[in-house]
Amino acid sequence: MGVRRSCLAVVSAARFIYNPDAANFLLEQPIRLMRRTFRFVLFVLCSAAIAFTQTAPSAQSAGTAKGGASLTPEQARAVHNSAIIIDTHADTPGRFVDENFDLAQDAGTGYLDFNKIKAGNLGAEFFSIWVEPTTFKGHEAKRALDMIDSVYEQARRHPDKMMMAYSTHDIVVAHREHKLAALMGVEGGHAIEGDIRILRDYYRLGVRYMTLTWSNTNDIGDSSGDMSDKSVQHHGGLTPFGREVVTEMNRLGMMVDISHVADSTFYQALELSKAPVIASHSSSRALTNAPRNMTDDMLKALAAKNGVAQVNYYCAFVSQKYLDTAKQLAAQHDPDYEAVQALFIKPQTPEVAKQLAEAKARLAPKLPRPPFSDLIDHIDHMVKVAGVDHVGLGSDFDGIDCSPQGLDSAADLPKITEALAQRGYSAADLDKILGGNLLRVFGEVEKVSREMQRSSD
């Protein structure tokens, strides 16, 4: 903790170095850039020093140093409040476009608004650009552009609370300025309409990851969502076009996201990619046997290539009991279960929201939310398998109709930090899980992009 305090003091003091107010007006902007660069370098060096001074965790001990005293709740909260907390998946753009929702409003039963973001100290959010493949078939890019614009509009309306971010450096700058760093990820490669030029355009507009598939197999590769559907033509993993897409994403500096993809697609993309890949919102299949989750072998393979798996909070992905019960209710055509599924995907007008709340209340006794500990079990297990350097947070906020008890919005993120601290995770480990690991992978993707572009010049 002494190193942490010293580093924070040095970085804070750096605001007085290269003071542009004392410089000639003509030199103001170059000097401002020097100051920002200097402070950024200090931040990175100090983060490394903090990590170095902590005992490195072993995979078999869930990333914790056994025998050491756990952080107190106050210490855990201090770690949470100082960390750059990065969430890699929120479906809120659907609300921006379809409901004219604004983050300055109370989100109600939604997961994100500015008050909830501040309460949870959420530092960076990857807003999901998800195009429903049936409703928008034939004009996927138009829908994606509408959603991209909606994110920019939030930043334009609220420059004091939110800024667009395109790089690891931008995330750090937003953290320093106490603003939400808004990034974007396209969820499902069908949104590029089979045209790699659209992929490049998405990058130019700020998209920094793309999930190769959603729940539907596409012309990039096979999805885990329809592998049992014999009416769907599968490819045995990546297609030739899919291989071209992965390589171009590496060149652009766009993270390759393997959440949702079939296992064969995962392994082929992992092997092909020159940069580490991410799973933006996937949990552990060993604990909850959902095809969307990752097997232990997949987690190990991801870690071997220096990637990161961001844990999903959805009840059916973190609780086997919930998943099994939901399947039973679906098979029985339970009217309350079907009502919740149907109402959840509709724009949440006041009337729809009222109907959904009533349906959820009727469903709750039959399908109770799993305990909060189930989510922590997934994080813990994935750390044991992959190592503490390869796990992060990918909530699926505003894209799920159920999260574990006690996790009702972004305001509850400190509970995750406190629960992990109670299991013995160190401050350095918590920093990694909360956002440091994703920053590392994103930085490596940026580095590979620079190298590929230099070699092609």
CB 307 within 8 A of CB 277: yes
Question: 202-224: per-residue pLDDT in tens?
Answer: 999 999 999 999 999 999 999 99
State residue 347's pLDDT score. Answer: 84
State residue 346's pLDDT score. Answer: 87
Report whether pLDDT(40) > 80: no
Report whether pLDDT(164) > 50: yes
Report whether pLDDT(56) > 90: no
Tokens 């159920």 map to which residue?
Answer: 402
Query: 36 in helix, strand or coil?
Result: helix
State residue 37's pLDDT score. Answer: 46
CB atoms within 10 A of CB 351: 9
State residue 345's pLDDT score. Answer: 87
Tokens 């599968």 map to which residue?
Answer: 234
The confidence band for 3, taking pLDDT boundaries of 50, 70 and 90, is very low
State residue 61's pLDDT score. Answer: 38
Average pLDDT of the residues in 343-355? 89
The confidence band for 11, taking pLDDT boundaries of 50, 70 and 90, is very low
What six digits make up the tokens of 354?
A: 């009222």
Q: Select the more confidently predicted residue: 366 or 42.
A: 366
Report whether pLDDT(382) > 70: yes
What six digits make up the tokens of 323?
A: 């998943």
CB 317 within 8 A of CB 285: no
CA-CA distance, 366 to 116, in Å (whole number)?
29
State residue 32's pLDDT score. Answer: 45
Average pLDDT of the residues in 333-342? 96
The confidence band for 348, taking pLDDT boundaries of 50, 70 and 90, is confident
CB 280 within 8 A of CB 394: yes
Average pLDDT of the residues in 61-84? 78
CA 381 to chain centre: 18
Q: Select the more confidently predicted residue: 348 or 440.
A: 440
The confidence band for 68, taking pLDDT boundaries of 50, 70 and 90, is low
CA-CA distance, 412 to 409, in Å (whole number)?
6
CA atoms within 13 A on the CB side of 9: 6
Question: 78-103: per-residue pLDDT in tens?
Answer: 999 999 999 999 999 999 999 999 99
Mean pLDDT, the chain, integer: 89
State residue 38's pLDDT score. Answer: 47
